[in-house]
């Protein structure tokens, strides 16, 4: 039996993961702003489910709940940083308040969760952090600039952290699902559109999203199964792309960047000291 702590556990991939883990007999600390989704699970899971209700952007509350969870269960094997949402709008369209909420939720809160659990994972001799990012941590769509900023940011943060904590037996896994049927689109924070962007790629993406033309190949249940499989493995990969869309888009982006880097080699080397 393993013990997991999952943020954003009251919906989407987080709820799916919580449900599957409890069904197989594991223990879960389910963190979220709404407790109603856990009512049915609590009736069957009993003391294997610990529910923690708090705002993920409240760092003091987050630290308190993390400390309480480790105290209650003694050991937590895997911490799943899943809480987040998307801000939809061109960079010029989004408001300062929307930017602040997006960064506070997706980036700062994820950073603070990692900082809160690391002392406990070190003390217990190791553990695993699974960050639910997105293909949007490697590629970018118009109208998601702030969302991408948070996902590219948390991936960079964890690349460094992984090197810092490896000597303590702590692994870091970054999951990068492509568009998946989780209700993500329903939870988007929409900026007020500016007409000037209608004939641009930003307008194209807006129309595709509103018309249902934005293709979603990813299956939520299979995505959860894949993440659990990787989290259970003895030697997990640092990054896992999930879904054919994620593979295709990330492969294309990395190939293009590598080709561009190689083509500028002479210019790049010219910046070295003589």
CATH for 3-245, options being 3.30.70.260, 3.40.50.850, 2.40.110.10, 3.40.50.720: 3.40.50.720
Question: Which residues share a beta bridge with 162?
Answer: none
Catalytic residue among 10, 11, 81, 110: 10
pLDDT at 216: 81
Whether 133 is catalytic = yes
pLDDT at 250: 97
Give Cα 65 distance to the centre of its chain.
Answer: 19
Catalytic residue among 81, 141, 147, 197: 147
Instruction: Write out the two tokens for 247.
Output: 């593979």
Instruction: Domain ranges for the chain, please list them.
Output: 3-245
pLDDT at 215: 79
Q: What is the 3-state secondary structure (H, E, C) of the chain?
A: CCEEEECCCCCHHHHHHHHHHHHCCCEEEEEECCCHHHHHHHHHHHHHEEEEECCCCCHHHHHHHHHHHHHHHCCCCEEEECCCCCEECCCCCCCHHHHHHHHHHHHHHHHHHHHHHHHHHHHCCCEEEEEECCHHHCCCCCCCHHHHHHHHHHHHHHHHHHHHHHHHCEEEEEEEECCECCCCHHHCEECCCCHHHCCCHHHHHHHHHHHCCCCCCECHHHHHHHHHHHHHCCCCCCEEEECHHHHHHHHHHHHHHHHHHHHCHHHHHCCCCC
pLDDT at 274: 86
Residues of the chain with pLDDT under 50: none
Long-range residue pairs from 70-73, CB within 8 A, at least 24 positions apart, any chain: 70/117, 70/120, 70/124, 72/29, 73/3, 73/27, 73/29
Catalytic residue among 11, 81, 133, 145: 133
Whether 147 is catalytic = yes
Q: Dump pLDDT digits (tens) for 208-246.
A: 988 877 778 889 999 999 999 999 999 999 999 999 999
pLDDT at 209: 86
Give Cα 57 distance to the centre of its chain.
Answer: 15
Whether 145 is catalytic = no
Catalytic residue among 81, 134, 145, 151: 151
């Amino acid at each position: 039996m393993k013990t997991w702590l999952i943020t954003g556990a009251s919906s989407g991939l987080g709820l799916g993961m919580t449900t599957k883990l409890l069904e197989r007999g594991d223990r879960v600390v389910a963190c979220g702003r709404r407790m109603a989704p856990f009512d049915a699970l609590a009736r069957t899971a009993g003391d294997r489910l610990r529910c923690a209700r708090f705002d993920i952007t409240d760092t003091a509350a987050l630290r308190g709940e993390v400390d309480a969870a480790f105290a209650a269960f003694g050991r937590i094997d895997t911490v799943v940083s899943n809480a987040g949402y998307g801000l939809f709008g061109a960079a010029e369209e989004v408001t300062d308040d929307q930017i602040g909420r997006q960064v506070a939720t997706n980036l700062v809160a994820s950073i603070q969760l990692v900082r809160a659990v690391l002392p406990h994972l070190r003390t217990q001799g190791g553990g695993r952090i699974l960050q639910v990012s997105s293909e949007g941590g490697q590629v970018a769509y118009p109208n998601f600039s702030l969302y991408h900023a948070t996902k590219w940011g948390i991936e960079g943060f964890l690349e460094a952290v992984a090197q810092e904590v490896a000597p303590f037996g702590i692994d870091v896994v970054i999951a990068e699902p492509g568009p998946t049927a989780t209700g993500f689109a329903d939870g988007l924070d929409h900026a007020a559109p500016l007409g000037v962007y209608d004939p641009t790629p930003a307008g194209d993406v807006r129309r595709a999203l509103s018309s249902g033309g934005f293709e979603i190949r990813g299956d939520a249940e299979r995505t959860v199964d894949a993440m659990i499989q990787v989290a259970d493995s003895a030697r997990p990969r640092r990054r896992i792309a999930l879904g054919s869309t994620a593979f295709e888009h990330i492969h294309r982006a990395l190939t293009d960047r590598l080709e561009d880097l190689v083509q500028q080699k002479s210019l790049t080397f010219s910046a070295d000291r003589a």
